[in-house]
Structure 1
Amino acid sequence: MRRVSILLASVLALTLVVPGLASAVPRQQFEHYVALGDSYTAGPFIPWQRLDPLGCARSTNNYPSMLARELGTRSFTDESCSGADTTHLTQRQQVPLGVNAPQFDALRPDTDLVTLGIGGNDHGVFGDIVGVCPALRGSDPTGTPCQDHFTVDGEDTLKAAIADTGERVTEVLAGIHERSPQATVLVIGYPRIAPPSGTCPAVLPFADGDYAWLDDIEQTLNAALAKAVADDGAATFVDLYPPSLGHDACAGGDAWIQGQHTNPFAAASYHPNRAGMAGVAAEVAATLG
């Protein structure tokens, strides 16, 4: 998410470096794995952070890194970067203290495994939610002030934006197939942020009624990704929504998602922690058979 760039500027000195509906696809020995994605792939502040560039907040213990170790791939390239949207797959991305090359630059004809986790930053959807909703809670703590804010003339503007994001992801998949025609391609969904019932305003400072709306927005995004995969016809969608039940930000010690407060030694606010990355890696590995 874009707000990670702001957080990075104040805690760079604290970082350390150490060198659905998915159906299982046939298990094979993957030799050349490339990971593409945004901060939910990169893993900001999960130890240990890489330097290539540091501004991408890319962890050596994000789910692609865990998956690569599990699979024993001969080569592994992680191009994920915090703040990335679909345009940064083909364009350079400016980040604090550096530039991330177009993520597609890592794709080769002999790439045989690609994971893609993207979409939440397109049209600023996730950034708008975490940037606007907490501030609106005080105006109507038990109501739906954030949903009301993003509803214009009866239309949920974020849902409308997500529909376009799905179309962009379909185009992204075509680009992956063109560059790496032999690759197994997995599109990774987003895990739950909000619980199916109940609230935890100290962790997720949203108005009570906005919890269901937040969950609905996330389900809409995952549905758009699943549709993009179906339209593509050659990729596989890894749906994290069912397995992340009981691991939302309100789940305490079982949470896969950090709450509103960044822990510079564990996870960025509203982002996966190491346990969450392990959970995602396990689901991706299971999808691979």
Structure 2
Amino acid sequence: MRLSRFVSAASAFLLTAALALTGSGPAHAAGPVYVALGDSYAAGVGSGSYDDSRGGCYRSLRAYPRLWANAHTPSGFSFTACSGADTTDVIKRQLGPLNASTTLVSITAGGNDAGFVGVMTTCLLNSSSACLRRIDRARDYIENRLPARLDALYDAIGSRAPAARVVVVGYPHFYKLGTSCIGLGASKRRAINDAADLLDTVTAKRAADHGFAFGDVRGTFAGHEICAGPAWLHNLTLPVYESYHPTASGQSGGYLPVFTAAV
């Protein structure tokens, strides 16, 4: 009996040592290495609780990338999205954390390339005809120039992080139509929503052609647009830079579930 117990113990020791050496023991999957890129919608402008250590980017603790990271504890997380960024800014200033070990990337970008700020400023301060002309300029840019800029951005992401799942997250409709609403008239609101549709359509196509996923947030924001209640987008507000951006509820209820489903 003593000899058999000794043999059994020795066998167990040798097996444990062999497994340790060969790495064939029970596996524990590491969490993803996640990098969050993009513009003010990705940074969380409008949702408050900003990390002011990042100099003007207004990255929020309530932005969808941080909310996802808090819930899923990735093994690595880099949040480089920044207010005001267009696709070229993302390439030049945000891609540093990407590498062959990156396994997950989120990106919301393209609205600043298309002139979002100029559209809203023109439509707020000028006539319907001036607003519609400015929107037409934005639509022309989205159709004819933005695809190449998105291709350059997606190529850069893919080359730096070839193993990553990339989720391109779009933009919501800004306005609930068919309701009475203080501010812009119905024709302006409809034209802005139509331009958002075009931006999402072009972005989704470029994402698909690069093998990336597309997260469409128009569904989750339905019923929560400006002129709806409760709205998940700010109307014209103070501070002005938060105007026409998702609230904290828009990030958690509109963006987060779409990104989570796409991961």
Instruction: State the TM bucket, normalised to the shorter chain.
Output: 0.7 to 0.9
Match for residue 147 of structure 2? 166
Shift of 1:45: 4.9
Equivalent pairs counted in the alignment come to 233
Are 2:98 and 1:107 aligned? yes
Label 1:213 to 1:76 Cα distance change in 2 as closer, same or farther (>3 A). Answer: same
Are 2:196 and 1:221 aligned? no
Shift of 1:29: 6.1
Shift of 1:133: 0.4
TM-score by length of 2: 0.83
Fraction of identical pairs, as percent: 31
Long gaps (5+) in structure 1: 1-27, 92-101
Letter in 1 for 2:232: W
Q: Which has the larger radius of gyration?
A: 2
Label 1:270 to 1:148 Cα distance change in 2 as closer, same or farther (>3 A). Answer: closer
CA RMSD in angstroms, aligned pairs only: 1.9
Shift of 1:251: 1.9
Are 2:254 and 1:275 aligned? no
Long gaps (5+) in structure 2: 1-28
Are 2:106 and 1:122 aligned? no
Runs (4+) of structure 1 exceeding 4 A deviation are none
Letter in 1 for 2:243: S
> How far, CA to CA, are the matches of 2:176 and 2:31 in structure 1?
36
> How far, CA to CA, are the matches of 1:45 and 1:129 in structure 2?
18
> How far, CA to CA, are the matches of 1:218 and 1:29 in structure 2?
38
Shift of 1:169: 1.1
Shift of 1:120: 0.3
> How far, CA to CA, are the matches of 1:160 and 1:58 in structure 2?
30
> How far, CA to CA, are the matches of 2:247 and 2:105 in structure 1?
22
Match for residue 215 of structure 2? 238
Match for residue 134 of structure 1? 124
Q: How does 1:54-203 map to 2 (within 5 A)?
A: 54-91=55-92, 102-123=93-114, 125-136=115-126, 139=127, 144-150=128-134, 156-163=136-143, 164-201=145-182
Higher relative contact order (CA 8 A, sep 6+): 1
Shift of 1:147: 4.3
> How far, CA to CA, are the matches of 1:87 and 1:212 in structure 2?
29
Kindly indicate which of the two structures has a greater share of residues assigned to helix. 2
